[in-house]
């Protein structure tokens, strides 16, 4: 758990797939999400399955406006296939909320292994994304990957693409020179990866295997500081998961870019817990539970 000293110089990160377009009961669940946002009071938030349209206000923006305190936010999304969602004005993607002003943002649509709308319509119908926001000098990324248990080949393509994008954004800021401690906070990568911890996709991100000769390393916040199973998709505890007919699993993550040997232990994960896992207003927030992580940030600016 975090010490009192750590808490004053740390970053609290929340990730949650809010299911605002394709899942039921949004008009009720959005109030539950606001209640959890107010209760947790994180510093930054990554939401997935955010939507907006010509006659539909941005769902993350609605949450931000309804929350108890002021939030800065940005959204990145793209249209869905019209056979899935006929309204061509609808955009679907990720949003980031921040305690601090948003300095820049960029949306990246992720590729797939073998585009094939005939045999795997869901993969091509939905825009899978990586959304980058710079806020308070940090680089925060929200992502949503191909969904089905059988989509591992697509997700493997997507995680290697994510890593390349993050490395391009970061430039030489994460370069390690022998004998020196690196400066600043590593990149923070959050989202609905739809992949379990022992999958090739997640093992790749954690530096436990290579994909086509490529390697990388991110800290899995739950693996570092969580306790228990950490299930975020749990049919026994969440009625919205019951119809999926899949086992309970951990598929939502907060990752911290390579925190190895950094000044002031920047990037050290000191706490992680599953949140939005029980009703406050009488309904579960989403078909996913969220993850809240606390990360050492010695250069944290004033609020």
Domain ranges of the chain: 4-296
C-alpha–C-alpha distance, residues 60 and 80, integer Å: 18
Which tens digits make up the pLDDT trace of 214-251?
Answer: 999 999 999 999 999 999 999 999 999 988 899 999 99
The whole-number pLDDT of residue 117 equals 45
Q: What is the pTM of this model?
A: 0.95
Residues of the chain with pLDDT below 50 are 1-2, 4-7, 117-118
CATH class of 4-296: alpha beta
The whole-number pLDDT of residue 118 equals 46
The whole-number pLDDT of residue 104 equals 98
Q: CA-CA distances (angstroms) from residue 102 to 17, 134, 175, 220?
A: 21, 6, 25, 25
DSSP letter string over 154-165?
HHHHHHHHHHHH
């Amino acid at each position: 758990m975090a010490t009192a000293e750590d808490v004053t110089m740390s970053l609290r990160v929340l990730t949650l797939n809010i299911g605002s377009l394709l899942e039921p009961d949004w008009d009720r669940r959005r109030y539950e999400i606001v209640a959890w946002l107010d209760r947790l009071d994180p510093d930054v938030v990554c939401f997935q399955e955010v939507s907006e349209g010509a006659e539909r206000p941005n769902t993350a923006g609605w949450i931000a406006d309804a929350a108890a305190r002021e939030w800065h936010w940005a959204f990145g999304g793209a249209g869905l296939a019209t056979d899935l969602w006929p309204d061509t004005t609808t955009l679907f993607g990720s949003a980031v909320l921040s305690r601090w002003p948003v300095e820049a943002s960029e949306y990246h649509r992720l590729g797939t292994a073998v585009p094939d709308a005939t045999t795997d319509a869901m993969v091509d119908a939905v825009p899978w994304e990586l959304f980058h926001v710079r806020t308070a000098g940090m680089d925060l990324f929200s992502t949503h990957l191909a969904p089905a248990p059988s989509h591992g080949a697509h997700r493997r393509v997507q995680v290697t693409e994510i890593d390349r994008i993050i490395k391009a954004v970061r430039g030489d800021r994460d370069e390690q020179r022998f004998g020196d401690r690196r400066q600043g906070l590593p990149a923070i990568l959050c989202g609905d990866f739809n992949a379990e911890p022992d999958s090739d996709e997640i093992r790749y991100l954690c530096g436990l295997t290579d994909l086509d000769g490529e390697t990388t390393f991110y800290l899995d916040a739950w693996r570092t500081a969580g306790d228990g199973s950490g299930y975020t998709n749990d049919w026994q505890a969440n009625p919205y998961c019951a119809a999926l007919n899949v086992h309970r699993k951990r598929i939502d993550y907060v990752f911290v870019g390579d925190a190895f040997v950094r000044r002031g232990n920047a990037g050290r994960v000191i706490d992680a817990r599953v949140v939005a896992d029980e009703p406050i207003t009488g309904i579960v927030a989403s078909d996913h539970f969220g993850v809240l992580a606390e990360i050492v940030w010695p250069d944290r600016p004033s609020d």
